[in-house]
Amino acid sequence: MIEVWGRRSSINVQKVVWALEECGQKFERHAVGGQFGGTDDKAFLKMNPNALVPVMKDGSITLYESNAIMRYLARKYGKDSIRPRGQKAYALADQWTDWTATTLNPQMFTVLVKQVRCKPEDADPAAVKVAAKNLENLFKTANRAIGKKPWLTGRHFTYADIALGAFYWRYKQFDIKHANTPNLDRWLEQIKERPAFQKWGMVPVGTNNDEWLANEKKLG
Ligand SMILES: N[C@@H](CCC(=O)N[C@@H](CS)C(=O)NCC(=O)O)C(=O)O
């Protein structure tokens, strides 16, 4: 049985368990990280010396890095579900997946830790304002790229839709000024219809630290 280590409030864990569900794979998940701790345990550090979630174990393969895990799942189990079909779709799926991690995530992280997941005295509205402006531009870029296409890379759903979908869902919950991105809104409506997203991706982020921590505990 595939095993996953990670708390459900983590966006990177959400991507992995959502991908597993899309691939129709059964798995066992252990709530680790955040309030649950465990990432500094010797056994965990052996799996991921970075002390971060998620970690996935499939037989003799133990992997960290959520996007690497999604790509592994796509190759091994994702034909007809999350695996891109053809060179162009593969190239675009990787481009967008990397974009979420390297370009989008730093701005998302600023809003998360300076507005939602911080004590009131540690909030930094100025930094959040700058990040929100950057996010408007970034999501407008993605909005133009998806255009009228059903999914990010074309006609078929791929792991890139999971990578961007998890972030866009969270973005829409942030209490900040949002970009006008109707193509992404239309695409998110399709994502919301997917049972795997409903089960693993539709996770409330909360508007303040207390809500965040309460959600984390409730979700496991
Ligand atoms: N690049 C890594 C980032 C992993 C990461 O930053 N994980 C965060 C949660 S999203 C974490 O483990 N934080 C510490 C904790 O939960 O205790 C990935 O995509 O898997």
Give the mean model confidence (pLDDT) for residues 121-128: 97
pLDDT digit string, tens, across residues 206-218: 999 999 999 999 9
pLDDT band at 109 (very low <50, low <70, confident <90, very high): very high
pLDDT confidence tier of residue 124, bands split at 50, 70 and 90: very high
Indicate if ligand 1 lies below 6 Å from the C-beta of 82: no
The response to whether residue 39 sits with its C-beta less than 6 Å from ligand 1 reads yes
The pLDDT value recorded for residue 162 is 98
The domains located in the chain, with CATH, are 2-77 (3.40.30.10), 87-219 (1.20.1050.10)
Q: What is the pTM of this model?
A: 0.97
Mean pLDDT of 97-112: 98
pLDDT in tens, 11-31: 999 999 999 999 999 999 999
Q: What is the pLDDT of residue 165?
A: 98
Centre of ligand 1 to C-alpha 182, Å, is: 30
pLDDT reported for residue 172: 97
Among 10, 48, 70, which is best to mutate for testing ligand 1, by the most ligand atoms less than 8 A from CB?
A: 10
The average pLDDT across 175-191 equals: 97
- The mean predicted confidence, pLDDT, of the chain is 97
pLDDT of residue 93: 98
State mean pLDDT over 78-101. Answer: 97
Tokens at 13, concatenated: 């864990």
Closest ligand 1 atom, residue 36 Cα: 17
- Ligand 1 within 6 A of 100 CB? no
Pocket residue to mutate for ligand 1, from 4, 12, 113, most atoms within 8 A of Cβ: 12
